[in-house]
Structure 1
């Protein structure tokens, strides 16, 4: 009688395998990435291209500034060639201003509306995945991708703009307020969640995109009207008269004038419109006598200083993120009850 003997199996090599070392997405995160991988890769590619372009153009600008005398930079005496760099910077800034529109219309609006139209939402939530988990992941993954890419682009653009801030009228801080600092990230997240909410309510991709576009345009108009109110308006005045040889006060560097312009200041502290006694301006003596009869002692100008920029940006971003959080809460609450 013979017996069969089996050779002992070789032990598996010690240590983790490559498959265990490499991080892998799983669950709903993997599903969301798989669903929208084309959009995510597009965002990554656009971010890399944008960063590379801005770094290249900034390098050219710094090389140009390096050939100029420091005194010419401080006095605004840069040659006309500098305007080429100004135009490039403003052009890229205008492109960045479209990020909130793209985030709301192309990323936010179709996110859930597309799943509702195709039946994917019903298929996913009929499995072991809860509606809340699916909605949370659908919001979190694109939002994280959007915040990261927008933040990188805004940071690189802000660094490009920093050395030439205020050297040209087009490069005033108020011209680029909404595309620098923390504002672009908060703005993009706001329009993204608004688009998602529209898609959840309307349940049709094309209709949601059109409605979102209208809402984003309205938000942009409202923002352009109110963001200056986030700052504290300062005033500068004179009290030595307004007669011949006297000039209005000069604003601090990079300050933006507010209101109607230059006002006449009276001895009691009241302000008169600059058109006061304008009908007698052709006669210096009559014009001076008219202003003296109204107790005009000097000029006053309102302005926003540049040192308030970061504070205003954080206040604006905080307001946007607060609204964003409210919209997210609405999406999760509505979606849990009426998703399908």
Structure 2
């Protein structure tokens, strides 16, 4: 006989009491929680480093604007560059610039290589979750953290650099220190390096070896990108017919990146500006007259095309990243164990 008895009508049921929530409303669970917990040290380190760098940028930007205000910023007077301390800006650019390499080596390479080397991958594969889900979750959570951090750094650095972006004496927009650290390029470079490191780790299955090879891969990516970067922009051309003497060189927009410059002849042909490099000014003038040189032709890329170049370059890098990701998923679906 049951020890629980009921007498009379049962008491009306009260409203259901929801279990108390802990932490934020949106919490990780399941495979997402497992991946976050496994790599939480790397994720939190990256997030904390990003917060520190952004805080330093905010402080340094305030200091820079305070200095520029004395020279009439945003319409700067001449001479402001003479006492301008660009060391904080260039140092931050160098630190942020190596971030894709560091992420590839210390986050991308060990992501799968560590599990394969330690045997964790075999344990995961014995569970109900599929290999594809495990791979996609690992890549997805890692990519999300990278996107958040690199986007924050890119926006912050671009905001800091923007008051002096047209000055050729600080950091030129066509240099990697500015072009690669602003806009979407930093995120795209970081993602392709990390995903490349994941693929290398999956194939080599040894953490230390994967980190070394990923370092080489990241360096190659940076070198190739540095040569490819400025070819993304559509060039403009300006010509003059005022000769090639002092004051005859054409006026270009502020911070224009010169691609090529040539002498313009009377027939409209171009000849290299080093054609007439005689020993004396008189001999040089005679050479120019003989070649019928009448002015300059300069091909350049204006700074106004920087954003379009960044987005087109980032799209190319992200397409490559998507291809490597597809390879990881297809290869790992049957061979990852």
What TM-score results when the alignment is normalised by the length of structure 1?
0.91
SS at match of 2:180: helix
- Which residue of the other structure, out of 25, 36, 41, is the alignment partner of 2:39? 36
- Which residue of the other structure, out of 67, 70, 78, is the alignment partner of 2:70? 67
The offset of 1:14, in angstroms, is 4.2
SS at match of 1:300: strand
- 1:323 has 2:320 as partner: yes
Q: How does 1:10-159 map to 2 (within 5 A)?
A: 14-19=16-21, 22-70=25-73, 74-78=76-80, 80-82=82-84, 84=85, 86-159=86-159
Number of residues paired by the alignment? 330
SS at match of 1:81: coil
Distance 1:22 1:303, change over 3 A: closer
CA distance in 2, matches of 1:258, 1:270: 18
Q: What residue is the counterpart of 1:192 in the other structure?
A: 194
The offset of 1:163, in angstroms, is 1.4
Q: How does 1:163-202 map to 2 (within 5 A)?
A: 163-175=163-175, 176-202=178-204
SS at match of 1:161: helix
The offset of 1:22, in angstroms, is 3.9
CA distance in 1, matches of 2:330, 2:81: 59
CA distance in 2, matches of 1:30, 1:4: 41
CA distance in 1, matches of 2:311, 2:165: 19
What's the CA shift string for 1:81-123, capped at 9, x where partnerless? Answer: 31x1x22111101111111101111100000000001111110
Distance 1:142 1:4, change over 3 A: closer
Distance 1:80 1:278, change over 3 A: closer
Q: What residue is the counterpart of 1:254 in the other structure?
A: 255
Q: What residue is the counterpart of 1:226 in the other structure?
A: 228
SS at match of 1:132: helix
Q: What residue is the counterpart of 1:278 in the other structure?
A: 277
SS at match of 1:225: helix
Q: Is the 8 A contact 1:263 1:301 kept in 2?
A: yes
SS at match of 1:143: helix
The offset of 1:6, in angstroms, is 6.6
Distance 1:146 1:250, change over 3 A: same
CA distance in 2, matches of 1:34, 1:115: 14
What TM-score results when the alignment is normalised by the length of structure 2?
0.91
Q: Is the 8 A contact 1:235 1:300 kept in 2?
A: yes
The offset of 1:4, in angstroms, is 8.1
CA distance in 1, matches of 2:258, 2:64: 28
The offset of 1:63, in angstroms, is 1.5
SS at match of 1:74: coil
Gaps of 5+ in 1: none
What's the CA shift string for 1:60-94, capped at 9, x where partnerless? Answer: 111122222359x5344216331x1x221111011
SS at match of 1:171: coil
Q: Is the 8 A contact 1:198 1:208 kept in 2?
A: yes
Q: Is the 8 A contact 2:248 2:295 kept in 1?
A: no
The offset of 1:24, in angstroms, is 3.0
CA distance in 1, matches of 2:99, 2:83: 29
Q: Is the 8 A contact 1:109 1:205 kept in 2?
A: yes
